[in-house]
A and B are shown apart, each in its own frame.
Chain A
């Protein structure tokens, strides 16, 4: 190594140090300027106390371990900016979040925290960006909706995955559409407007709120409907019915025939 190249290297090293120092000083000045100009206290609190409590819960309930401290998302979980309060209420209210383990489909579980806490987290996430709000309707609203029309809409938009009686069904690569028997009217509504996991989104212009209430009424009506045959067999259609018919029905007939033909 000749002295001239050594000197040149030294100069370039010095230059780098200098530019780093300039950036550091500029950042420091900017920070001081911000601290001086920004309104006091706004960095950590907001107008709504629920948002602050929600932010605390977001870390405490370990949402932040995957979604990031500011819900910006990460390698393992999506950003929550703009998903709205309805998505939080659905995912936490059905116990799907916090996620137990990564897999093709998040199963329904008992919620880890109270509804009040879920609403606080929802308020926090909603404050991050505009998204679908938690739908407000009473049970009288959906109970007076048109069940038959809801059934037609359900068969066009929902039955292909969730089965004609809302029993759920398989999708690709281990994913599945869950049964609707446990879903509350609010959760059904939230699922339609947020499209959890692989479910498509059904916005209010595609399925209007009255149409959504009609679908909810249909789902709740078939849930409470009796099985006229005595046993629903999971209400998954002709496959189970045929299996039971062949194995149990014909099996019993064969056994009885053997008994009749056997010598005393």
Chain B
């Protein structure tokens, strides 16, 4: 057979005589195709003998290498069993148990694998085996038979005569995509105004996120920061946009008049949710008053109304207007005046 691949035959569809006229010949064509297929030359091997130019003693050395690999693998298996049985996971040495088990098992598998590879490389005869590629297309006769079978099937269905079958089939096939379209509904419901509101409201107390205790003036030291949530709201869905940080400055440190006015006695509250991608921010540097977002390094100057001084954030963090109630606890004067968190399409 030739080494060069055969050129693919041109397709015959649409250029042949109708199936009905040809049907008598089909079985003969198939038989002929099978015959040619048999002589097509799949899986012929040619073995080229190569002599290994070996130094004396090299074969013995290779044998030793392979044997050593297998011996190491065997020892590692023993090591695995010993470490499993002997190491007490609750004792001080227990911290090495995973390491010992994984290590010995890895050495066992690697030893076996390396032994096989060395065996194949150094001991098996280095002969070259050549196998020709077969053609990647079917013989023309098979294609014709397949085509004929398909076209005959279509003709036998008689779509032209069975009107009711044709109509119901079209109906069923037409309705089939509808469930996929209907499932798109689960992408909703639309957030409506949810993104514009948080759980904060008028006279809602600021409580510590961990202890749920309300916070008084003096609880936070100068240079301190605490993460607060609206009191009485524990539903995570409702609270997704509520996390807020309360920072206490030394008198005179706040440079923005609006920030000072919206805070209370050098305490200010800002949204903890980054205006860039919504990460919770609380890397606060009390000397520089920088608040750093760990996700993309947006940096806000908290002494200047959370102005963005570095990073991809496009807006300042929204400030929560706070004051104290009659008992001296911090309360919000209302919800945030603008949507908190990252941008969304309808934000405006």
Q: Tell me, in angstroms, the Cα distance from A211 to B287 when the chains sit together.
A: 25
Contact check: which of B122, B219, B282 meets A264 at CB < 8 Å?
Answer: B122
Interface residues of B (CB under 8 A from A): 94-96, 98-99, 102-103, 117, 121-122, 126, 208-211, 215-216, 218-227, 280-288, 290, 292, 294, 297, 299, 310
The minimal Cβ–Cβ distance linking B225 to chain A, given in whole angstroms, is 4
Contact check: which of B126, B282, B290 meets A160 at CB < 8 Å?
Answer: B282
Q: What are 15 pairs between A and B in contact, CB < 8 Å?
A: A156-B210, A160-B280, A160-B281, A160-B282, A161-B283, A172-B297, A172-B299, A195-B286, A201-B221, A203-B220, A211-B211, A226-B94, A228-B95, A230-B98, A259-B117
Residues of B within 8 A of A230 (CB): 96, 98-99, 102-103
Contact A153 B219 (CB under 8 A): no
Indicate whether A199 reaches chain B with its CB closer than 8 angstroms: yes
Indicate whether A229 reaches chain B with its CB closer than 8 angstroms: yes
Indicate whether A200 reaches chain B with its CB closer than 8 angstroms: yes
Indicate whether A206 reaches chain B with its CB closer than 8 angstroms: yes
Residues of A within 8 A of B297 (CB): 172
Residues of B within 8 A of A148 (CB): none
A156-B209, A195-B223 known; A201-B286 Cβ under 8 A: yes
Residues of A within 8 A of B215 (CB): 206
Contact B219 A205 (CB under 8 A): yes
The minimal Cβ–Cβ distance linking A213 to chain B, given in whole angstroms, is 15
Residues of B within 8 A of A198 (CB): 285-288
Contact B219 A203 (CB under 8 A): yes
Residues of B within 8 A of A156 (CB): 209-210, 227
Q: Tell me, in angstroms, the Cα distance from A133 to B288 when the chains sit together.
A: 25
Chain A 188-205 per-residue mask, 1 if CB under 8 angstroms from chain B, else 0: 000000010111111101
Chain A 154-177 per-residue mask, 1 if CB under 8 angstroms from chain B, else 0: 001100110000000101110101
Interface centre among B122, B221, B310, by most chain A C-beta atoms within 10 angstroms, is B221
